[in-house]
């Protein structure tokens, strides 16, 4: 087929849009071979035109070129003289010409692009803008795809363009703020441990895992296995209508990740790379040693540090004995290098397509010997044998090597986060290194946290995974497809935790050294058989899906430890002392088999209806509750497709309006393995005498429920989707209600005492999440300046409905630290006292209500607790609900624009009506011989200021348990709302002609900033997004990077 014949094929396919007719055999004729009876004519230059108007001297020949936003010519675009049938289409270079009267208005359109009107002239350059919402857009759903216009369920989707240039190391954090109802929080910036915690429409359980199911090309996976350039799209299934097809694993939402497939055509090689650096988003500001000494003297009311000592701390004249170290700044105050490289090859022909990729990510941490290396590879191959049979093969592998410093020898601290916590705790009074180069004793004669971080101690985690699946599709009849899918995942994780022997000055040794090796492997297998049948009869469109799936997973674990390792260089267990060695091992197996089904029906794309079901059987449950059915039903109405709507010109500005509703039941089988089975404990305390011999004994110590069953979530949705002004403006709103029953819950110890045994989890709880989701988008252009605004806003109300055993019977004893459960209130609640500032002098204490029961010995500068019950005293009965760590409001705003070759985007994200708490080393000065922060020094009460509402009470030293001023109360709770600039990006794309002249297809260069700015109400140096309140943390990171995308 020659070039002109190809054009004719495109032309005839589009003539229907122009209200023209042509001979149906035209595609087989040479150029210019239209019959004289045809209305359309192909001009010698390849243009199709009508013969309505002839050149008569009063007309002009309107000419021009039509391109997309990337400058690529649009072939077959329609150009119509408004109000007539006089029309043409563009040729292979995007050019057109049309004979029209002067001053005529031309209507320019093409499928998938917004229509434009221009005044006719002889030199037009027209850029068509892609539709914001294309009615033919396809959305990935469970076990298939659907046209977006026909989707009834609540599904949030983003494509690869939103991810490829981001500097965040983990893909999960790139989703933050981009989807309504999806909350993602990052609690750590430690390389390889910085993945976001995803919650879909609230927190769905306090007994089983509340994490969503993550599937990569239909197989269970993790975000760390992916590089951004591998991803085609990400869909989050939020309601029962969309998620019920995944049944017992869908109660907390489903994340479907689709990787890129090969596309027939010219082979395209693309490189995407970036280099940059990261720094902590926020760091607490600690006191200098001399400030610590002065304020400690104030706290204890005597001169613990002499003025001479304070002077030496201040002037640095004797650093070996009077040091002034800021260990937090030394450990975390620097910058960390980061680089990412991705290479992909995509192409193929009508028989075989391929998408191959390889990626490398190096992410350094802020501490010495703190890094993560990740290598990924992926191959997606598509084979088409004939029009009935095709095979898709997907192979993927990932290697991850993560390292962090640890504590030496016998110190029973937990790695890098404990190093940071202890650096936050201890004042910098003692040096890490003496002037002679030896390690100083540190505050506890164990060295300092800086010395630990710089030692040979380390924790190393290596993960290797390989995934393979094949999908054979056979289409024996029109509309019928049969798919057989087989998959295998294998993962191996090796952990090595080495604690070296640390030698301090004067021969002091912190030891002995210890090495622990652990190894996990897991193997996952699946087989799926899926049948699809699509039938269209006139305006009736029916789609049926039925299938069977089988899944099986096994995991094994072994561990061993030895002391006194001979060398720090390459520590192995064989180099340790066999005396005192330990070892352990265990494993599990589980299986899941399921029958799935879906019926979708629409009438004239106007009335929409869908049924979904999954019948699951899980080995994790006892025989009498092993199987369960999870159904859903949904319906929709596209009112804009009604005749009365189309016949009303005043409603033309409404492009699409769809009402939808759904109801269904989802399950949660992520409860661990076989918690219903009775466990016998082997222990010397159960030994007994048998036949005169002291014999090993076993005993049942925990009561398990033999009738354990699934947690069930019933979900209802009602909403609408609307588009206006040719899809330039969109607005969606949804109300949802999720009620989870049979929540697994462990009763309190007081209940266990009644039975004389510990109690395992039982199905006794219930909770709900309900709220609203709103999404709005607007896109337009002013000449060459194109802009887009997308926003989302969610309201989520979480509430515990029952615990089954009463409010006070909780396993945590209502500790008030943000983990309490109380009927009628949100999960993760703070339960404590109401307050009214501080006592200004000792005389006020005697005139205040009696608070001796909780705060004996109160004096000036201490907290005044309120009597809520009205009995003229303050007791634990006066505690009330103070707030929750679960945000009620979440929102995101995505701004993007481009002008010619330049593009700019900014993503904002935030939460509101949420509480946070700083306690222990993070919030209390002088806690357990701890340090004091700048904000505490500046905000503390003192008799001179006489400030009743000072932000910090009278200074005092406290133990680990705190004191009378550290009880959980509204005095300590902080507004944890924040607004974060998640990403700012500026890019420049080389003009197409310039790129072509230098032998490349495309080149884009960009600067990207991730997490550069946070606006919040927290104390300086603390990030409200980090939920750990005691200082056991690794700060989140801001990343600044420069990169480019090069295509050949």
Counted residue by residue, the chain has a size of: 1048
pLDDT score recorded for residue 701: 72
Does residue 726 register a pLDDT over 60?
A: yes
The stretch 138-145 carries a mean pLDDT of 86
pLDDT score recorded for residue 136: 60
Does residue 271 register a pLDDT over 70?
A: yes
pLDDT score recorded for residue 149: 82
For the chain, the domains span 3-127, 138-271, 834-878+925-965
Q: How far is CA 651 from CA 133, 150, 455, 648, in A?
A: 19, 21, 72, 6
C-alpha 146/C-alpha 945 separation (Å) is 67
pLDDT (tens digit, 9 = 90+) per residue, 951-976? 999 999 988 777 899 999 999 999 99
Does residue 35 register a pLDDT over 80?
A: no
| DSSP tally for the chain: helices H, then strands E | 15, 52
The stretch 703-728 carries a mean pLDDT of 90
The residues, any chain, with a CB within 8 Å of residue 371's CB and separated by 6 or more, are 191, 362, 363, 364, 365, 402, 403
Cβ atoms of residues 958 and 312 within 8 Å:
no
Confidence tier at 42 by pLDDT (50, 70, 90): very low
Does residue 38 register a pLDDT over 60?
A: no
pLDDT (tens digit, 9 = 90+) per residue, 764-816? 889 999 999 999 999 999 988 999 999 999 999 999 998 876 544 454 445 55
C-alpha 353/C-alpha 261 separation (Å) is 8
Q: How far is CA 433 from CA 228, 379, 448, in A?
A: 43, 52, 9
Among the four given CATH numbers 3.30.70.260, 3.60.70.12, 2.60.40.10, 2.60.120.10, the one describing domain 3-127: 2.60.40.10
pLDDT score recorded for residue 805: 62
Cβ atoms of residues 537 and 486 within 8 Å:
no
Q: How far is CA 923 from CA 215, 413, 501, 506, 654, in A?
A: 40, 20, 33, 36, 54
In the 3-class helix/strand/coil scheme, how is 797-853 assigned residue by residue? EEEEEECCCCCCCCCCCCCCCCCECCCCCCCCEEEEECEEEECCCHHHHHHCCECHH
Does residue 580 register a pLDDT over 90?
A: no
Handedness of CA 1040, 1042, 1047, 1048 (dihedral sign): negative
pLDDT score recorded for residue 946: 79
pLDDT (tens digit, 9 = 90+) per residue, 434-476? 999 999 999 989 999 999 999 999 999 999 999 999 999 999 9
Does residue 50 register a pLDDT over 60?
A: no
The three-class DSSP label of residue 301 is coil
Confidence tier at 411 by pLDDT (50, 70, 90): confident
Tokens encoding 983: 């990403």
- Chain-wide mean pLDDT for the chain? 87
Confidence tier at 45 by pLDDT (50, 70, 90): very low
| Of 220 and 16, more confident | 220
Distance of CA 939 to the CA centre of its chain: 36
C-alpha 925/C-alpha 445 separation (Å) is 22
The stretch 682-689 carries a mean pLDDT of 71
pLDDT (tens digit, 9 = 90+) per residue, 853-865? 999 999 999 999 9
The stretch 908-927 carries a mean pLDDT of 93
pLDDT score recorded for residue 672: 78
Q: At what angle do helices 289-300 and 307-315 cross, to 10 degrees?
A: 160
Does residue 414 register a pLDDT over 80?
A: no
Nearest to 295 by CA among 947, 800, 932, 833: 932
Percentage of residues of the chain with pLDDT beyond 90: 69
In the 3-class helix/strand/coil scheme, how is 260-291 assigned residue by residue? CCCCCEEEEEEEEEEEEEEEECCCCCECCHHH
C-alpha 824/C-alpha 806 separation (Å) is 12
CATH of domain 138-271: 2.170.130.10
Q: How many Cα atoms sit within 13 Å of 836 on the Cβ side?
A: 9
Q: How far is CA 1041 from CA 273, 336, 986, 987, in A?
A: 10, 12, 11, 12
Please count the other Cβ atoms lying within 10 Å of the Cβ belonging to residue 1043.
23
pLDDT score recorded for residue 224: 85
| Least confident among 368-372, 386-390, 406-410, 447-451 | 406-410
Does residue 36 register a pLDDT over 60?
A: no
pLDDT score recorded for residue 53: 42
Tokens encoding 1003: 């080149």
Confidence tier at 1046 by pLDDT (50, 70, 90): very high
Q: How far is CA 795 from CA 599, 774, 789, in A?
A: 32, 9, 21
Distance of CA 616 to the CA centre of its chain: 27
The three-class DSSP label of residue 911 is strand
pLDDT score recorded for residue 10: 40
pLDDT (tens digit, 9 = 90+) per residue, 992-1011? 899 999 999 999 999 999 99
C-alpha 903/C-alpha 1006 separation (Å) is 9
The three-class DSSP label of residue 672 is coil
Does residue 893 register a pLDDT over 80?
A: yes
Does residue 404 register a pLDDT over 50?
A: yes
Please count the other Cβ atoms lying within 10 Å of the Cβ belonging to residue 37.
8
pLDDT (tens digit, 9 = 90+) per residue, 283-326? 999 999 999 999 999 999 999 999 999 999 999 999 999 999 99
| Least confident among 122-126, 178-182, 356-360, 693-697 | 693-697
pLDDT score recorded for residue 865: 97
pLDDT (tens digit, 9 = 90+) per residue, 190-201? 999 988 899 999
Does residue 569 register a pLDDT over 60?
A: yes
């Amino acid at each position: 087929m020659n070039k002109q014949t190809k054009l004719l094929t495109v032309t005839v396919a589009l003539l229907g849009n122009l209200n023209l007719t042509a001979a149906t055999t035209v595609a087989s004729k040479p150029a210019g071979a239209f019959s004289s009876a045809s209305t359309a004519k192909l001009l010698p230059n390849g243009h199709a035109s009508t013969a309505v108007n002839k050149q008569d001297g009063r007309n002009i020949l309107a000419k021009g070129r039509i391109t997309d936003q990337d400058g690529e010519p649009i072939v077959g675009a329609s150009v119509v003289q408004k109000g007539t049938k006089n029309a043409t289409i563009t040729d292979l270079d995007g050019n057109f010409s049309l004979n029209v009267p002067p001053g005529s208005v031309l209507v320019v359109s093409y499928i998938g692009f917004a229509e434009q009107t221009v005044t006719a002239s002889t030199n037009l350059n027209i850029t068509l803008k892609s539709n914001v919402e294309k009615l033919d857009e396809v959305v990935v759903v469970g076990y298939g795809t659907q046209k977006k216009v026909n989707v009834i369920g609540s599904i949030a989707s983003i494509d690869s363009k939103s991810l490829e240039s981001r500097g965040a190391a983990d893909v999960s954090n790139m989703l933050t703020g981009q989807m309504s109802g999806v909350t993602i929080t990052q609690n750590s910036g430690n390389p390889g441990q910085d993945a976001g915690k995803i919650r879909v429409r609230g927190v769905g359980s306090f007994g089983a895992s509340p994490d969503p199911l993550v599937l990569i090309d239909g197989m269970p996976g993790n975000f760390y296995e992916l590089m951004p350039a591998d991803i085609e799209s990400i869909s989050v299934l939020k309601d029962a209508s969309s998620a019920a097809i995944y049944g017992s694993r869908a109660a907390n939402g489903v994340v479907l990740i689709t990787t890129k497939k090969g596309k027939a055509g010219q082979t395209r090689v693309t490189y995407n790379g970036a280099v940059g650096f990261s720094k902590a988003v926020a760091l607490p500001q600690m006191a200098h040693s001399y400030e610590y000494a002065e304020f400690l003297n104030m706290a204890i009311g005597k001169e613990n540090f002499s003025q001479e000592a304070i002077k030496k701390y201040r002037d640095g004249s004797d650093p070996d004995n009077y040091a002034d170290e800021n260990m937090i700044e030394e450990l975390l105050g620097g910058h960390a290098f980061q680089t990412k490289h991705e290479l992909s090859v995509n192409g193929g022909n009508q028989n075989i397509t391929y998408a191959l990729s390889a990626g490398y990510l190096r992410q350094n941490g802020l501490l010495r010997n703190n890094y993560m290396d990740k290598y990924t590879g992926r191959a997606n191959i598509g084979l088409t044998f004939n029009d009935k049979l095709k095979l898709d093969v997907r192979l993927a592998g990932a290697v991850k090597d993560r390292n962090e410093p640890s504590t030496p020898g016998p110190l029973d601290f937990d790695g890098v986060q404990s190093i940071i916590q202890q650096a936050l705790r201890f004042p910098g009074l003692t040096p890490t290194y003496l002037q002679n180069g030896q390690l100083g004793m540190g505050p506890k004669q164990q060295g300092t946290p800086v010395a630990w971080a710089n030692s040979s101690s380390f924790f190393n985690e290596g993960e290797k995974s390989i995934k393979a699946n094949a999908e054979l599709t056979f289409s024996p009849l029109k509309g019928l497809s049969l798919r057989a899918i087989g998959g295998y995942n294998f993962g191996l994780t090796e952990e090595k935790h080495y604690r070296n022997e640390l030698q301090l000055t004067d021969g002091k040794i912190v030891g002995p050294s210890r090495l622990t090796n652990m190894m996990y492997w897991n193997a996952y297998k699946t087989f799926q058989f899926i049948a699809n049948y699509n039938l269209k009869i006139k305006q009736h469109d029916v789609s049926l899906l039925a299938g069977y799936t089988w899944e099986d997973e096994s995991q094994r674990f072994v561990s061993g430890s030895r002391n006194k390792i001979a060398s720090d260089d390459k520590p192995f267990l064989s180099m340790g002392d066999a005396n005192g060695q330990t070892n352990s091992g265990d494993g599990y197996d589980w299986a899941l088999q399921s029958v799935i089904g879906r019926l979708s029906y629409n009438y004239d794309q106007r009335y929409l209806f869908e049924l979904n079901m999954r019948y699951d059987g899980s080995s994790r449950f006892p025989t009498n509750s092993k199987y369960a059915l999870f159904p859903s039903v949904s319906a929709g109405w596209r009112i804009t497709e009604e005749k009365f709507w189309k016949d009303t010109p005043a409603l033309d500005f409404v492009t699409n309006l769809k009402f939808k509703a759904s109801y269904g039941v989802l399950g949660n089988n992520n409860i661990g393995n076989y918690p219903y089975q009775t466990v016998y404990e082997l222990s010397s305390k159960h030994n007994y005498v048998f036949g005169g011999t002291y014999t090993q004994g076993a005993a049942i110590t925990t009561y398990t429920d033999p009738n354990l069953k699934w947690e069930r979530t019933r979900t209802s949705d009602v909403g609408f989707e609307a588009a206006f002004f040719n899809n330039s403006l969109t607005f969606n709103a949804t109300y949802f209600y999720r009620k989870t029953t049979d929540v697994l819950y462990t009763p309190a110890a007081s209940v266990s005492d009644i039975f004389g045994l510990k109690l395992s989890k039982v199905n006794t709880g219930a909770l709900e999440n309900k709220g609203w989701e709103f999404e709005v988008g607007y896109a337009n252009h002013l000449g060459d300046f194109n802009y887009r605004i997308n926003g989302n806003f969610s309201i989520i109300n979480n509430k515990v409905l029952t615990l089954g055993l009463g409010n006070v019977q909780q396993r945590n004893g209502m500790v008030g630290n943000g983990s309490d459960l109380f009927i009628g209130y949100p999960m993760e609640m703070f339960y404590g006292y109401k307050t009214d500032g501080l006592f200004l002098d000792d005389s006020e204490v005697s005139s205040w209500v009696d608070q001796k029961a909780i705060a004996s010995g109160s004096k000036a500068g201490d907290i005044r607790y309120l009597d809520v019950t009205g009995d003229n005293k303050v007791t634990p009965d006066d505690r009330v609900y103070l707030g929750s760590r679960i945000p009620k409001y979440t929102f995101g705003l995505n701004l993007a624009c481009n002008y010619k070759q330049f593009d700019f985007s900014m993503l904002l994200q935030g939460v509101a009506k949420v509480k946070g708490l700083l306690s222990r080393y993070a919030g209390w000065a002088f806690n357990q011989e701890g340090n004091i922060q700048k904000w505490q020094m500046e905000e503390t009460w003192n008799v001179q200021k006489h400030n009743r509402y000072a932000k910090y009470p009278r200074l005092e030293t406290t133990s680990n348990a705190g004191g009378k001023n550290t009880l959980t109360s509204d005095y300590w709770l902080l507004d944890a709302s924040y607004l974060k600039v998640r990403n700012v990006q500026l890019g420049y794309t080389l003009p197409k002609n310039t790129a072509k002249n230098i032998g490349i297809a495309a080149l884009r260069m960009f600067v990207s900033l991730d997490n550069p700015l946070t606006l919040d109400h927290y104390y300086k140096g603390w990030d409200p997004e980090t939920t750990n309140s005691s200082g056991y943390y690794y700060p989140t990171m801001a990343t600044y990077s420069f990169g480019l995308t090069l295509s050949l």
